Amino acid sequence: MHKDAKFDTMLIHAGQKPDALMSVNPPIYQTSTFAFKNAKHGADCFAGESDGFIYTRLGNPTIRSLEDAVAALEGGFGGIATASGMAAVTTVYLSFLSAGAHIVSTDAVYGASRSVLENHFSRFGVEASFVDSSRIELVEAALKPNTRLLYIETPANPTISITDIAACAELAHKYGIKLVVDNTFCSPYLQKPLELGADIVLHSITKFINGHADVVGGVIVAKDPADHKLMYNVMTSMGPNMDPHQAFLVSRGLKTLSLRMERAQANAQVIAEFLEGHPSVAWVRYPGLPSHPQYELAKRQQKGSGAMISFGLKGGFEAGSKMMDSVKLATLAVSLGGVETLIQHPASMTHAKVSAAAKQKAGITDELVRLSVGIEDVNDLLADLQQAMQG
Ligand SMILES: *Cc1c(COP(=O)(O)O)cnc(C)c1O
Write the residue with the smallest CA distance to atom 4 of ligand 1. Answer: 85
Residue 258 in contact with residue 189, Cβ under 8 Å?
yes
Q: Of 297, 268, 300, nearest to 284 (Cα)?
A: 268
What is the CA(213)–ligand 1 centre distance, in A? Answer: 12
pLDDT in tens, 215-261: 999 999 999 999 999 999 999 999 999 999 999 999 999 999 999 99
Which residue out of 106, 207, 246, 308 has the highest number of ligand 1 atoms within 8 Å of its CB and is therefore the one to mutate? 207
Going along the chain from its start, the domains and CATH numbers come out as 7-254 (3.40.640.10), 257-390 (3.90.1150.10)
Write the residue with the smallest CA distance to atom 6 of ligand 1. Answer: 85
Atom of ligand 1 nearest to the CA of 156: 13
Residues annotated as catalytic (active site), given as ranges? 57, 110, 182, 207
Q: Of 305, 300, 235, nearest to 270 (Cα)?
A: 305
pLDDT for 332: 95
pLDDT in tens, 269-303: 999 999 999 999 999 999 999 999 999 999 999 99
Q: What is the mean pLDDT of residues 30-39?
A: 96
| Phi, psi dihedrals of residue 351, rounded to the nearest 5° | -110, 20
Which residue out of 185, 204, 215, 220 has the highest number of ligand 1 atoms within 8 Å of its CB and is therefore the one to mutate? 204
pLDDT for 75: 97
pLDDT in tens, 44-79: 999 989 989 999 999 999 999 999 999 999 999 999
Q: What is the mean pLDDT of residues 23-33?
A: 94
pLDDT for 346: 86
What is the CA(243)–ligand 1 centre distance, in A? Answer: 18
What is the CA(84)–ligand 1 centre distance, in A? Answer: 8
pLDDT for 297: 97
Instruction: Label residue 24 exposed, middle or buried (CB < 10 Å: 0-12, 13-18, 19+).
Output: exposed
Name every protein residue with a CB atom under 6 angstroms from any ligand 1 atom.
84-86, 110, 113, 153, 157, 182, 184-185, 204, 206-207, 216, 218
Q: What is the mean pLDDT of residues 102-121?
A: 95
pLDDT for 391: 61
pLDDT for 37: 95
- For residue 339, what are the contacts with CB-CB under 8 A and spacing of at least 6? 211, 212, 213, 260, 264, 374, 375
pLDDT in tens, 160-199: 999 999 999 999 999 999 999 999 999 999 999 999 999 9
Q: Model pTM?
A: 0.96
pLDDT for 67: 98
DSSP string, 274-317: HHHT-TTEEEEE-TTSTTSTTHHHHHHH-SS--SEEEEEETTHH
Q: Cα 126 from chain centroid?
A: 23
pLDDT in tens, 317-376: 889 889 999 999 999 999 999 999 999 988 888 777 777 887 887 788 888 999 999 999
